[in-house]
A and B are shown apart, each in its own frame.
Chain A
Amino acid sequence: MTRAKGLRHRLAELRGPDVPAKALDARALAALAANPGCSRRAILDGAGVDKARLAGALGAPAGFGQSQFALTRGNAFEARVKADGGAELLRLAHARLDPGAEPPATAAVPDLTAHGPEGRTARTALALREATRAGGWTLLDHPMLALDVAGSLAFLEPDAVVVHPDGSWSVVEIKSFPMVDGAADPAKVGAAARQAAVYVLALEEVAKRLGAEPDAPAPAGAPVPRVRHQVLLVCPKDFSNLPAASAVDVRKQRAVTARQLARLTRVEEIADALPEGTCFAPDLPAEELTAAVEAVPATYAPECLSACELAFHCRDRARATGAVTRLGRPLRAELGGLATVEEVLAAAHGVSGDPDDPAVAALRRAAALRAEALREAREAAEAREAGEAVSCP
């Protein structure tokens, strides 16, 4: 307990005095799994630092933002899907996830309003317990779930959770990208699945707690309420505003995220390795901030550009140090131990490097072949020009 408290205190110090912690949402948690090796991202997210503001203070603001058109449409679609007490949503859940169960004739939609995130989390857990006991279909609209991330609680708000008649729970994700002819953009579906996997993990925590209660809602013998590993993805159908749904299996994403979250405990180690007095408060001068950020190693790759607010800063640093990974991860694999642009070019042109190193030998061979081909092409071009000069007097 004191250890957890100590860590929390330490993280608050890193964030800076009077800077509120930025809540880790499911999107951020899921993105964490995309680049698990990055200590910089782990500590900043773990400490609840507002990375967008930090990036702005560093002079490399992120290009993220959402168009109000997309926002309006997303909200309008969600409202439409959940209209009539969620009748359409439950019909889709029945058809896609649980066709064997009785069709949802009436559905309970419990009121989940409460004060503050803790209150809403407690209210959600209560509603889940009651719904599981009652049997029948229940729709939880915007429940609040808590997940322990590196010693601090992250509050998550799924679009909806459905309780099935058999007492199992499933997550619903409502997205505004289209499902045209039953297929949606795989990259967007993947992102939605990673996000839903975080909700599944959080729901499993709730289920575990409920199962441990003395008057557990599940019948004796059954351990805990089951959280389904198939989530319901609801998207607009073709070019209309009608909903279409599909069951998405998130077992793999769930396993990956669970493993990453378990590894996140390293936040403590990273924090311990930082110099005394390190602080990421956005109102500090840019040089101090740069030094503070520089104190934590980052593993930048171009994929970061679409996921992390700090990516432009890390890219500039990677460029300044001449790191080769900023040209893409696969390139790094080709080059063996050569990590900077200067090293590679020097090795390729025979200035440095051990010729017995297979990576160096391959590079020199590649450089020689490339030079030969370019020379050949130049000669061909000259011959062509000379030919044209002759044919057009």
Chain B
Amino acid sequence: MSLITALARLEAVGTGRAQPAATVRHRHLSRHPLVFVPLTTAGETGAPLGALVGTDRDAPRLLVVPQPRDRDLRFTFLADLADVVLPYIDAYAGSVEAAERTETDPETGKRVKVAAELCADAPQLIVPSRTGLDFVRLLGRSMRFRRTAEQDPDAPYPAPPRVPLLGRWLTHYGERARVPGSSLLLALTDVLSRHWATGQSGLEDEHLGALLAWIDPPEGLTGAEAARRAELARDADGQLLCPPAGPATDPAFDNRLLAPAIERYDRARTALAAAEDPLEADDRLAALGRAEREVRDLVESRTRPTWDAVWRGLDLLRALPEGAHVEGRWTRDRWSFTGHRDRVLAGEPPQPRRDDAVTAANKLATREREQARLEAQEALDDPLVMAGRRLAGEAFAGEVTDVVMAYSEGRRPSPRPLVTVRTEDRPHLAQRAKVYRSLGGKPQSAEFVGQEADGVLVLRVLDKMGRGKEPEPGSVPEKGDRVCFTLFEHEQRGGAKLPDPEQTPWTHGGPPGEPAPEAPDTVTEEDVL
């Protein structure tokens, strides 16, 4: 945590309200995001209890597994989920625009532009919290190796059609969420705590209710009081007034309300199976319906508050203006979405359980590069972030006090003006260190020549002044201008190119060989315990 954020948190404590940690919105928000509020069963892996899902804040779709340990009911839930999510994805996959992509020509080895399709927009998934992200990954992993009856008629316990496809999409979204600055799948608590500093610790910020209480406390309460209420207040039955945002449920809810309701459902089901004549069966079917209704009501009562909280959080974020570089990063997300769409269309197999060495190294390199890109772009978009970098000595802002024209030595002298900047910042500048400023969205570089006095720096501008002997107008700062230079680069260069998978060196396990189709997970007669 930088000192500026720490100070913001302390100010939040002092004022009883969250303080801004950003002045613009650093993540893309779709106009029609798909919100997913899942609940899971304690102790069971990947056994959903229910979910609210949809794009309309007033009409979420409620999906419930009345007995989470029943495989058929779980498959029904997943099939229903696929019926909501996949049409939403398909709606975006269909509309494309022409774009260009650079590729390495296999014959010449040169980088060439090729025409490609790019989806005009991409679907965006929002979950309430970071544990929700993990749950999306887990659901994806649990589904993508399933076999449907169509794929493999002999498969034991075949999954409903489209469930494996949903698994592949959720896996892709889960993986993409690991890339810094990406917005295909967002955890709302992460995004909110990026933009506001609350008067509590980062650990406590993972509670969506408490976080919102700090940012937008109800009338008459301070953030601290409202957060405490959201965290701990219980009703007469001992149930939390603000249920956890999931996917884990409150143990008191499990033990006092859910377990008895599920037991009643089980009993009703057994009774129905034992019914002997149609009249009796009708009665018992009605009883089963009532028991199921009861579980549904319970699940809705725990997910609906979170659902409303998510939309409230989105409203708060929408009120912030979008950062200038957010659009560009979203385009990368659109490329990622388009790429996966193409892989699915081409009939490629689901993502493997483990990546081969080259893919894994590529993924890591991408994440590192995107992290550096994100840090640079957020600073350029947001004076508050830049303030943090200035405090850390990684940037400086000041007024130009003098400009002296100078030229490079050589056959064709080019302009190399010397610019004197007076600043109160304390940048960590070494002799001839490169510094950068943004000139019409492009980085202009300069080098540090020397320090005239305390806080008076002399820089030599190096580029973006045109081809002529005289610099193009506006390309050199003038006396009296306010400038902001950074010590970090604005655009990230890719690292060294990695070899093709077939060329993997023996130190990294050698070439992966022919890709073998991944076997489905072992299933036992009783999948659950």
Contact = CB atoms under 8 A, between A and B. Distances in A.
Contacts of A76: 529
**Range, interface on chain A:** 35 or more
A180 B141 contact: yes
A177 B384 CA distance: 42
A96 interface: no
A201 B231 CA distance: 38
B254 A69 contact: yes
Nearest to B204: A302
B6 A335 contact: yes
A327 B321 CA distance: 28
A328 interface: yes
A241 B526 contact: yes
Given A181-B353, A374-B23, A384-B321, A67 B1 contact: no
A380 B320 CA distance: 12
Nearest to A183: B354
Interface stretch (B38-46, B364-372, B503-511): B38-46
B259 A68 contact: yes
B254 A334 contact: no
B203 interface: yes
B345 interface: no
B195 to A, nearest CB: 12
Nearest to A322: B13
Contacts of A242: 522, 524
A77 interface: yes
A29 to B, nearest CB: 23
A72 B13 CA distance: 42
Contacts, number: 156
B462 interface: no
B387 A370 contact: yes
Given A241-B528, A345-B14, A69 B6 contact: no
Contacts of B45: 177-178, 180, 236, 238-239
B359 to A, nearest CB: 15
Nearest to A348: B7
A378 to B, nearest CB: 8
Given A67-B251, A68-B254, A70-B42, A374 B522 contact: no
Contacts of A303: 203
Nearest to A376: B383
Main secondary structure on A side of the interface with B = helix
Interface in B172-224: 199-204, 224
B529 A80 contact: yes
Interface stretch (A19-27, A124-132, A191-199, A358-366): A358-366
B156 to A, nearest CB: 12
Interface residues of B, number: 58
Interface in A369-393: 369-370, 372-374, 376-377, 380-381, 384
Interface string B11-30: 10110000010011000000
Interface string B372-406: 00000000001110111011000000000000000
Interface in A43-80: 63, 65-74, 76-77, 80
Contacts of A108: none
Contacts of A72: 43, 529
Contacts of B201: 302, 326-328
A67 B255 contact: yes
A331 B386 contact: no
Contacts of A155: none
Contacts of A240: 521-524, 527
Contact of A241 (B46, B382, B529): B529
A152 interface: no
Given A237-B522, A377-B24, 6 more contacts: A68-B254, A239-B45, A302-B203, A328-B1, A369-B390, A384-B321
Interface of B: 1, 3-4, 6-11, 13-14, 20, 23-24, 41-46, 138, 141-142, 199-204, 224, 231-232, 249-252, 254-255, 259, 321, 353-354, 382-384, 386-388, 390-391, 521-524, 526-529
The 5 tightest CB contacts between A and B, nearest first, are A70-B43, A377-B23, A67-B42, A302-B201, A73-B43
